[in-house]
Structure 1
Amino acid sequence: KALDNVNLKVRPHSIHALMGENGAGKSTLLKCLFGIYQKDSGSILFQGKEIDFHSAKEALENGISMVHQELNLVLQRSVMD
């Protein structure tokens, strides 16, 4: 189980960093928030509303972005996309 009983609160209109040990679930948490991974259970609240993004595009359209550590996440897109 990568994530269990996680609470993360951030301030609007600011940049945040998530730090922790290797294997702690940082990337998994952010990928669930960003719509890359789908959560198995629980809920994600954003601006007081439950969200369940199914794509990075959907997350971006709702004001959520992230800097990825992997460079190969979107192989099927062109630079113009």
Structure 2
Amino acid sequence: MLYWKDDINMDYCKLYGKARYNPTRERNLNSKTTPYAILRYLPLTPQLQKLYASKATTEHMTWHDNHQMEEGSMCHPSDAEA
């Protein structure tokens, strides 16, 4: 579950009732709580731009569009009918 927008202040999952944070040994008001999991977001667009900018990787990135299909043989799933 993503604790976002309306759910940002929730401490338990609304679907399964599981705790959002790991239990700590000491219940201190100043201690930070640690979540069970963290969602990391890596933007895809800058990574693709870097791959297409390099001459070495551009050939591999455009292979599916440029490769020649042989009639009657399937060398890659992109050769099959949808």
TM-score range, shorter-chain basis? under 0.3
Higher strand fraction: Structure 1 or Structure 2? Answer: 1
Please, what TM-score do these two structures have when normalized by structure 1?
0.20
Please, what TM-score do these two structures have when normalized by structure 2?
0.20
Tell me which of the two structures has the higher relative contact order, counting C-alpha pairs closer than 8 angstroms and 6 or more residues apart.
1
